[in-house]
Structure 1
Amino acid sequence: MTSPVRVAVLGCADIAVRRMLPAMVASADVDLVAVASRDPAKADDVARRFGCAAVHGYEALLARDDVDAVYVPLPAALHDVWVEAALGAGKHVLAEKPLTTRHERTAQLLRLARARGLALVENVLFVHHGQHAAVRALLREGRIGEPRSLHAAFAVPARPDDDIRYRAALGGGALWDVGVYPVRAALHLLGPGLDVVGAVLTCDAGREVDTSGAALLRDRAGTVAQLTFGIGHAYRSAYELRGTEGRITVDRAFTPPADHRPVLRVENGSHVEEITLAPEDQVAAAVTAFAAAVRQGGAPSTETVLDTETVLEQASLLDAIRRSAVRER
């Protein structure tokens, strides 16, 4: 029987405590060894809740020899430093999205991981849900003809004023926090070779980061992706693919709960079909996929949703959106 991957966590972020640690504890593929924080009381509290060791400081955790891999849910601007430190300590890494806030830095870290024979995985959860594989199968079958456009949106309500997503120094902003989702959806559904045609980033009064935005992407065949995202909006998590003969609509696309039964709506003229799928836990699936990548001893296979080339393309598109965006206040 294959031994579980021994995982430790750098930081006590909300997504770690609320979603990832419960999935790790429940997984037969992972043994949660320790959690580290610069605040000893916080580390003690989280460690007690999840039955693992508490460590004061990230350096001390990386020095442990009973850890195979680390999960990094720190603010985006801190990823590159601590991902590099973890790779330097010989640990496989699962890092929250975005892997870094610069394409060049993302590429450097992926090269470092490859050179050291370590897995470096960006934790984009939705790509592990089977509803998107079902959509791609419908596209291959020609159910909507030739794809012509993707319309994807991810928006969430406002956060408390002291939330890290509003702090520029920590890599905050809507693009990094929620814009990643529709950008990754465009790559996941339309494939590589997308370019940014135009973008807008809007900053609400009193904020130092973008709080909403939109981007228009295009591939060489002329297929377009219209993407919108925001913090401080009514919740929206959906996409629609339109083709020459019909369209496919997916709701609860990016953050479906584990008991959600996805419904794919396929329309061709006056004919409407609703395909109901079985519930899936995309968080558990992501943990399993990371453990498999660790056991492979390096970069995930290009045949999986963890393909590093897609991570690089995503980083390039995010850079291009930020560079080319018209900024509004």
Structure 2
Amino acid sequence: MVDGLGMGVLGCADIAWRRTIPAMRAGGARLVAVASRSRDKARRFADRFGCRAVQGYERLLERSDIAAVYIPLPNALHARWAEAALLAGKHVLVEKSFTADVATAERLTGLAEGRGLLLMENFTFLHHSQHATARRLVLEGAIGTPRQITADFAIPPGPGSALRYQPELGGGALLECGTYTVRAAQLFLGPDPVVAGGLLVRDGDGGVDLGGGALLYDARGVTAHCSFGFTHMYRCAYSVWGSTGRLTLEWAFTPPPSARPVLRLERQDYREERVLAADDQFANMVRRFVEDAQRPQAHREHAADIVRQARLLSAVAATARVISPATSEDRPWQPSPSCPAPCPATSTRPSPSPAS
């Protein structure tokens, strides 16, 4: 591993402040500068993390002491600034979703390969050891032959001003939450998964998709049901259901470094819960980026991952049925008219005689 890879950050996103920048030192990177369109925002980051404040993304890319950049900008800006960074000769770590456009994914991964640079989409959760444990157990036959995967990631509603509700900035539940579940399903599907279809629940005001689901499958007939949304109780989990058992991770995507995830195994007349080791997935992710920046073979692996993810997200968006239900938070849920209502709380036994 090359120690102290000089890195710059394009944008003052909350995830950079809370998680990614603090993990850089532990992962073998050295933060050189943070850029923002606002000098005050850049200065706030610089004061906390002891780096340079730069006003303007272009000026940061001009710096010769920066070998790599991290891009936590809104989804709609990822491709533009990843391309600018690659053209400036920088390795690029870009937040998901990088793109749902296959042509863009192919063009920019080709640009990175042609210049000998790493372009890596940041799915931090993949770098937690709990997933290696889950994959090992499945490969060892702990649940028999895999038949079905379910992956869920949803968060409660937020303020309407949040970036995830702004379609012009690439908001929407598919790109914000669904991307996790689609990527997690690939841990257990075959190498060329296919999208069978899906559903997107669209904001009735013509805004972004607020939730939905997608169905994937592979050549073995293993299916993956991916659910996501912005209007739910918080949940981030996946299960692999096999011929003889089921494996579940309940905190699959966002465990903090101190958390010890629980892996549950279920078989006929058997249930086991394993408390796994705590792990810092952000430090692990930065370490992997620093190491892979020096390995051309890794560049091609990341390029393949980016193109496959873009192809799957694009297929979900293209094939999904889109609905905009007329709902109201003031209207309680009602069962379908085709379903019988629950029986009233009555008994067929004769009522006792009144006391005399």
Task: Quote how far apart the aligned CAs of 1:207 are.
Answer: 5.6
- Structure-2 residue corresponding to 1:300: 298
Task: Quote how far apart the aligned CAs of 1:27 are.
Answer: 2.0
Q: 1:124 to 1:267 in 2, by over 3 A?
A: same
- Note the alpha carbon deviations across 1:95-141, whole angstroms, 9 max, x for none: 00112231210111111101100011100011101111111101111
- The 1-side partners of 2:138 and 2:303 are apart by 23
Task: Quote how far apart the aligned CAs of 1:213 are.
Answer: 0.9
- Structure-2 residue corresponding to 1:245: 244
**SS in structure 2 of the partner of residue 180 of structure 1:** helix
- Structure-1 residue corresponding to 2:322: 327
Q: 1:28 to 1:261 in 2, by over 3 A?
A: closer
**SS in structure 2 of the partner of residue 113 of structure 1:** helix
| Structure 1: gaps spanning 5 or more residues | none
- The 1-side partners of 2:90 and 2:2 are apart by 19
- Structure-2 residue corresponding to 1:179: 178
Is contact 1:155-1:229 (8 Å) kept?
yes
Is contact 2:117-2:299 (8 Å) kept?
no
Is contact 2:148-2:242 (8 Å) kept?
yes
Matched to 2:309, the amino acid is Q
Is contact 1:12-1:35 (8 Å) kept?
yes
- Note the alpha carbon deviations across 1:262-291, whole angstroms, 9 max, x for none: 111111101112222110010110010011
Task: Quote how far apart the aligned CAs of 1:28 are.
Answer: 5.5
- The 2-side partners of 1:109 and 1:141 are apart by 37
Matched to 1:324, the amino acid is T
- Structure-2 residue corresponding to 1:3: 3
- Structure-1 residue corresponding to 2:343: none
**SS in structure 1 of the partner of residue 288 of structure 2:** helix
Task: Quote how far apart the aligned CAs of 1:307 are.
Answer: 3.6
- The 2-side partners of 1:98 and 1:192 are apart by 20
Task: Quote how far apart the aligned CAs of 1:233 are.
Answer: 1.3
- The 2-side partners of 1:6 and 1:236 are apart by 36
Is contact 2:199-2:213 (8 Å) kept?
yes
- The 2-side partners of 1:6 and 1:213 are apart by 40
**SS in structure 1 of the partner of residue 309 of structure 2:** helix
Is the counterpart of residue 317 in structure 1 residue 312 in structure 2? yes
- Note the alpha carbon deviations across 1:134-186, whole angstroms, 9 max, x for none: 11101111111110000110001112111111111111100000101110011
- Note the alpha carbon deviations across 1:189-218, whole angstroms, 9 max, x for none: 223221111100002333611010101111
- Structure-2 residue corresponding to 1:113: 112
Q: 1:307 to 1:91 in 2, by over 3 A?
A: closer
- The 2-side partners of 1:121 and 1:193 are apart by 20
- The 2-side partners of 1:250 and 1:207 are apart by 35
- The 1-side partners of 2:157 and 2:5 are apart by 36
- The 2-side partners of 1:28 and 1:256 are apart by 18
When Rg is computed on C-alpha atoms for both structures, the one with the higher figure is 2
- The 1-side partners of 2:223 and 2:43 are apart by 49
**SS in structure 1 of the partner of residue 249 of structure 2:** strand
Task: Quote how far apart the aligned CAs of 1:299 are.
Answer: 5.3
Is the counterpart of residue 138 in structure 1 residue 133 in structure 2? no
- Structure-2 residue corresponding to 1:20: 20
- The 1-side partners of 2:230 and 2:80 are apart by 26
- The 1-side partners of 2:208 and 2:46 are apart by 33
**SS in structure 2 of the partner of residue 188 of structure 1:** coil
| Structure 2: gaps spanning 5 or more residues | 325-356
**SS in structure 1 of the partner of residue 92 of structure 2:** strand
- Note the alpha carbon deviations across 1:208-257, whole angstroms, 9 max, x for none: 11010101111121111011000121100011110110100110101111
Q: 1:104 to 1:60 in 2, by over 3 A?
A: same
- The 2-side partners of 1:280 and 1:165 are apart by 28
Q: 1:99 to 1:28 in 2, by over 3 A?
A: closer
- Note the alpha carbon deviations across 1:33-86, whole angstroms, 9 max, x for none: 000000111111111111100000000000001100000011111111110000
Matched to 2:298, the amino acid is P
- Structure-1 residue corresponding to 2:344: none
- Structure-1 residue corresponding to 2:234: 235
Calculate the TM-score normalised by the size of structure 1: 0.95
Calculate the TM-score normalised by the size of structure 2: 0.88
Q: Percent identity?
A: 48
**SS in structure 2 of the partner of residue 93 of structure 1:** strand
- The 1-side partners of 2:226 and 2:41 are apart by 37
Q: Within 5 A, what are the aligned runs for 1:281-296?
A: 281-296=280-295
Q: How many residues align?
A: 324
Matched to 1:44, the amino acid is R
Matched to 2:213, the amino acid is A
